Amino acid sequence: MTGNRVAIEIDHVCKRFGAGEQAVLALDHIALDIRENEFFTLLGPSGCGKTTLLRMIAGFEDVSAGDIRLYGASLTGKLPFQRPVNTVFQSYALFPHLTVEENIAFGLEMRGFKPADINPIVAEKLELVKLSGFARRRPHQLSGGQQQRVALARALAPSPRVLLLDESLSALDLKLRKEMQVELKRLQRETGITFVFVTHDQEEALTMSDRIAVMSAGKLQQVGSPEDIYDRPANRFVADFIGETSFLQGRVADGQLHFGVAGSLSCQVLDQPHDGAAALAVRPERLQLASSGDGLGGVVAEVVYRGVDTVYLVQLADGQPCRVRHTNDSGASRLARVGDAVRVAALPGAFHRLQEAGHDA
Amino acid sequence: MQASNTLWRFRGVTPTAMLAFVYLYLPIVVLVVLSFNANRIATLWTGFSFDWYLKVMDNDNILRATKNSLIIACGATVLATSFATMAALAMAGKRFRGQAFINAMLGLPLLVPEIVTAVASLLFFLALGLDLGLLTVLIAHTVFCIPFAYLPIRARLEGLDPRLAEAAADLYAGPFATFRRVTLPLILPGVLSGAMLAFIVSLDDFVITFFVAGAGATTLPVYIFGLIRMGITPEVNAVSALMLLVSIAFVALSYWMGQRKS
C-alpha cells in the first residue's frame, strides 16, 4: 500500500512572519518525509503552522529557510502554477462562473490538453466522485458535500503527483464528514496519489491516515502511524491532543508501579522499565473499575454516561485524578455511583512512560 | 419598511419626502414637457409637437458636437476603465508600503473642485505646447474618469475570494490566464459598471471641457451652453431631454450590472 519512495521531503523548513523584533517563527525547522502513495496527515491545533506548511508545498507561501523537494527536485523559486501538486481548499474555491465540468476541466486546459482528451477525463472524474448527473450545474446549485466532491475532482483531474487537502472536511456536518472520510480514503486507494491532509480533528486523522505528523506551535511533535501516535505518544502534548488521556505521576521500582497511598500495580511500563520517578500517560479504556481486589484505591468523583460508553472520573487516594472508561456492551451501565470507593485496575501495558519524566511533573 | 423603520411613525415625514422629490425632479419634468412644446417661446405652452427634435436632428452643429461628445466619452471610457482596472488589481494584491496613501490619491480627484482641475489641465497643456483640441479633451476626460471607474471595480475585487486566484494558479494557470479566465469574468460586472459611470461623467462634463477644448472640439454640453447664452429655445430643451434619456439608460444599466451576481 505504501511505497518506500519519498514523494515530498520537508528539509528543515522555517517560516518567519514579519521582520526584525516582531518576527514570529510560525514554523521551526520542520523536517519530515512524505512517502509515495501514502495518506499523510498534518495534525495540530489551530495556529500550529500546519496550513502554512501545506501552503508552502503548494507554493502560496515562501520558505524562509530550508527547502522542500518533490521527488528530489527543489521547489524553491517555483511558482504555484509550475508545481505538479493540486490543492483542495478549505472553502473549496470553486470558480462560481463556471459549471461543474468546466471547473474540473480547468486544470487540464491550462496544461494544454486538447478538448477531445479533456472530456473523457472530466467524465471519469465525475464518475469517481459520484456526480455524473451534475456536469452542467453551477457551484452555487450544489450542496456543501457536492461542492467538496467537485473540488476533489477538479484537483484530481490533472493527475497531480501529490494532492494537498486543507481542512477539507471541516465545513461539513458530522454525518457527511464521516461519509467523506471513507470516501477520501477510497479515492486515495483508487487513484494511488499521495495525499497530504491538514486537519485539527484527531479522530479524523486516526481514521484516515497511513501516517500522521503532530504539530504544535510551529514545531513537529511526532511522526508515526496512527497506532504509534495513539499507543506511544512521544510527549505530553501528543498524549493530550490525541484521544483521552490521564496523566499520573508514579514511581517505578522492582517492576512495579507505585502510587503512594493509592497502592501499586504490577503492570509494567513496557518501553522504559528502569527505576525512578515516572510521568505516565494512560488511556481511560485501558483502566478498569473493580469493587475489590487488586488495584489503586480511589473514590468516584463523577460519572459521565455517553451512550456507547460511560466514563468514571476517579480521585485516587493520593489525590491524582484519572479517567476510567467502560463500554456499555452488557446493558448494565452503572458500575459505580459518585462517592463509591472503588479500585482501579489496569490492562497489561496500559501505562506509557513519557520522556520528559521529572521535567514538568 | 414601515414596520422596521420608526422614522415613518412621525407625522409629516411622508409629505416632506414627497416635497423633496418634487424639488429634485420637477425642473427636469418641466424641461422634458416643454421640449414637446409647439411654441417658439420655450416657456409658453401652446401645443404638442415633435418639431424641436426634428430640428435638432437637422442641426449640423449639434450633430458635430454630439459626435465629438461620443468620440471623447467612448475613448475616455476605454482608457479610464483600463487604467482603473490595473490600479484596482494592484491595490487588491499583496499589501505594500504606502498602499493607503495611494488608495487615497486614487479617490482624491473626486474631491478636487472641478474648476481647479480645469485651470490646472489648461496650464499643463499649454506648458507642454499641446494644441487644444479633441486630444486634450480626451486626456483630461480620461484623468477625471479614472476614480469613477475605479471605485466599482475596486469594490468588486474586494468581494472576490483571494482563494479563487490561488486555485487558478494551483491548476497551472499563469498570471495572465488567471486574470483572463477567473479574475476578469468575476469582476466584469464591476468593470462594466465603472465603464458606464465613466461614460456618463465624460458625456456630462462641462467645466473642464470648456477650458481645454479648442475650436473644433466643442462637445454637446459646451454647445448647449453656447445656445443658452442666446436665450432658452425649445431646441435646447430637446437636446437636453435626449441627453437625459441617454444618461438614465446608462445609469440604469450600470446599476443593474453592479447588482448582478453580487
Distances (CA, A) of A71 to A3, A9, A75, A191: 13, 8, 10, 18
Answer yes or no: do A142 and A255 share one domain: no
B253 touches chain A (CB under 8 A): no
Cα angle at A43 between A80 and A305, to 5 degrees? 145
Answer yes or no: do A130 and A259 share one domain: no
Residue B77 has pLDDT above 90, yes or no: yes
Distances (CA, A) of A270 to A244, A255, A348, A351: 20, 10, 9, 8
Tell whether A155 is covered by a domain: yes
Residues from chain A that touch B260, judged by Cβ atoms under 8 A, are none
Strand blocks (E) in A100-218: 162-166, 194-199, 211-216
A95 touches chain B (CB under 8 A): yes
Asked if A106 contacts A71 with a C-beta cutoff of 8 angstroms, the reply is no
Element (H, E) at B121: helix B114-128
- CATH number of the domain encompassing residue A196: 3.40.50.300
Residues from chain B that touch A81, judged by Cβ atoms under 8 A, are 169-174, 178
A80 touches chain B (CB under 8 A): yes
pLDDT value for A357: 42
Terminal C-alpha separation, chain B: 23
Query: Quick check: A96 and B186 CB within 8 A?
Result: yes
Report the residue from B161, B164, B170 with minimal CB separation from A87.
B170
Report the residue from A60, A89, A158 with minimal CB separation from B172.
A158
Answer yes or no: do A259 and A132 share one domain: no
Query: Quick check: B167 and A93 CB within 8 A?
Result: yes
pTM for this predicted structure: 0.81
Report the residue from B167, B173, B186 with minimal CB separation from A89.
B167
Pick from A106, A122, A167, A168 the residue to mutate for testing the B interface (most B CBs within 10 Å).
Answer: A106
pLDDT tens figures, A26-71: 999 999 999 999 999 999 998 899 999 999 999 999 999 999 999 9
pLDDT value for B97: 84
Locate the chain B residue with the closest alpha carbon to A159: B171
Query: Quick check: A80 and B170 CB within 8 A?
Result: yes
Among A203, A238, A273, residue at a domain's last position:
A238
Among A238, A272, A299, residue at a domain's last position:
A238
Between B69 and B107, where is the model more confident? B69
Asked if A310 contacts A304 with a C-beta cutoff of 8 angstroms, the reply is yes
Asked if A203 contacts A244 with a C-beta cutoff of 8 angstroms, the reply is no
Alpha-carbon span A125 to A157, nearest angstrom = 6
B162 touches chain A (CB under 8 A): no
pLDDT value for A356: 58
Q: Cβ contacts of residue A256 below 8 Å, gap of 6+? A: A264, A265, A266
pLDDT value for A272: 65
pLDDT value for A323: 92
Query: Quick check: A107 and B172 CB within 8 A?
Result: yes
Domain housing A252 = 244-353
Residues from chain A that touch B185, judged by Cβ atoms under 8 A, are 97
Amino acid symbol at A221: Q
Tell whether A189 is covered by a domain: yes
Answer yes or no: do A234 and A345 share one domain: no
Mean pLDDT is lowest, of A163-172, A262-271, B161-170, for A262-271
pLDDT tens figures, A263-316: 777 766 656 667 788 888 899 998 988 877 778 888 999 999 888 888 999 998
Element (H, E) at A252: strand A246-253
pLDDT tens figures, A109-140: 999 999 999 999 999 999 988 898 999 999 99
B161 touches chain A (CB under 8 A): yes
pLDDT value for B44: 78
Answer yes or no: do A233 and A201 share one domain: yes
A79 touches chain B (CB under 8 A): yes
* Residue/partner pairs of A313-319 with CB below 8 Å, 24 or more apart: A314/A289, A314/A342, A314/A344, A316/A248, A316/A259, A316/A262, A316/A344, A317/A260, A317/A261, A317/A262, A317/A263, A318/A259, A318/A260, A318/A261, A318/A262
Q: Please report the sign of the dihedral spanned by the C-alpha atoms of residue B36, residue B41, residue B42, residue B43.
A: negative
Answer yes or no: do A304 and A177 share one domain: no
Residues from chain B that touch A155, judged by Cβ atoms under 8 A, are 170-171
Kindly state the average pLDDT of the residues A153-181: 89
Answer yes or no: do A287 and A176 share one domain: no
Answer yes or no: do A65 and A165 share one domain: yes
Among A238, A271, A300, residue at a domain's last position:
A238
Residue B262 has pLDDT above 50, yes or no: no
B176 touches chain A (CB under 8 A): no
pLDDT value for A13: 93
Tell whether A55 is covered by a domain: yes
Query: Quick check: A58 and B163 CB within 8 A?
Result: no
pLDDT value for B1: 47
Pick from A97, A102, A121, A196 the residue to mutate for testing the B interface (most B CBs within 10 Å).
Answer: A97
Report the residue from A81, A91, A96 with minimal CB separation from B169.
A81
Answer yes or no: do A286 and A315 share one domain: yes
Kindly state the average pLDDT of the residues B23-30: 92
Residue A204 has pLDDT above 50, yes or no: yes
Length of chain A: 361
- Domains held by chain A: number: 2
Which residue, chain included where needed, has cell 429634485?
B24
pLDDT tens figures, A235-256: 899 999 998 899 988 888 877 7
User: What does the mean pLDDT of chain B come to?
Assistant: 89
pLDDT value for A269: 62
pLDDT value for A268: 62
pLDDT value for A30: 93
pLDDT value for B4: 72
Asked if A292 contacts A263 with a C-beta cutoff of 8 angstroms, the reply is no
Bridge partners of A328? none
Answer yes or no: do A198 and A76 share one domain: yes
* Band of pLDDT at residue B9, cut at 50, 70 and 90: confident
Pick from A81, A102, A103, A154 the residue to mutate for testing the B interface (most B CBs within 10 Å).
Answer: A81
Residues from chain A that touch B161, judged by Cβ atoms under 8 A, are 91, 93
- CATH number of the domain encompassing residue A298: 2.40.50.140
Asked if B237 contacts B224 with a C-beta cutoff of 8 angstroms, the reply is no
Kindly state the average pLDDT of the residues B149-167: 92
Answer yes or no: do A112 and A181 share one domain: yes
Tell whether A359 is covered by a domain: no
Distances (CA, A) of A135 to A101, A104, A125, A262: 5, 9, 11, 66
% chain B with pLDDT above 90: 52
Locate the chain A residue with the closest alpha carbon to B162: A93
% chain A with pLDDT above 90: 52
pLDDT value for B258: 65
Alpha-carbon span B24 to B133, nearest angstrom = 35
pLDDT value for A99: 95
Kindly state the average pLDDT of the residues B68-84: 96
Answer yes or no: do A62 and A161 share one domain: yes
pLDDT tens figures, A209-230: 999 999 999 999 999 999 999 9
Q: Which candidate, B157, B143, B134, places its Cα nearest to that of B198? A: B143
pLDDT tens figures, B107-150: 888 889 999 999 999 999 999 998 899 999 999 999 999 999 99
Domains in chain B, please, with CATH? 52-259 (1.10.3720.10)
Alpha-carbon span A103 to A155, nearest angstrom = 10
User: What does the mean pLDDT of chain A come to?
Assistant: 88
* Band of pLDDT at residue B84, cut at 50, 70 and 90: very high
Asked if A153 contacts A128 with a C-beta cutoff of 8 angstroms, the reply is yes
Query: In this structure, what are the phi and psi dihedrals at residue A86, rounded to the nearest 5 degrees?
Result: -125, 155
pLDDT value for B260: 64
Q: With b meaning 16 or more CB within 10 Å and e meaning fewer, what string describes B124-148? A: ebeeeeeebbbbbbbbbbbbbbbbb
Q: Which candidate, B39, B62, B36, B60, places its Cα nearest to that of B50? A: B36
Query: Quick check: A106 and B171 CB within 8 A?
Result: yes
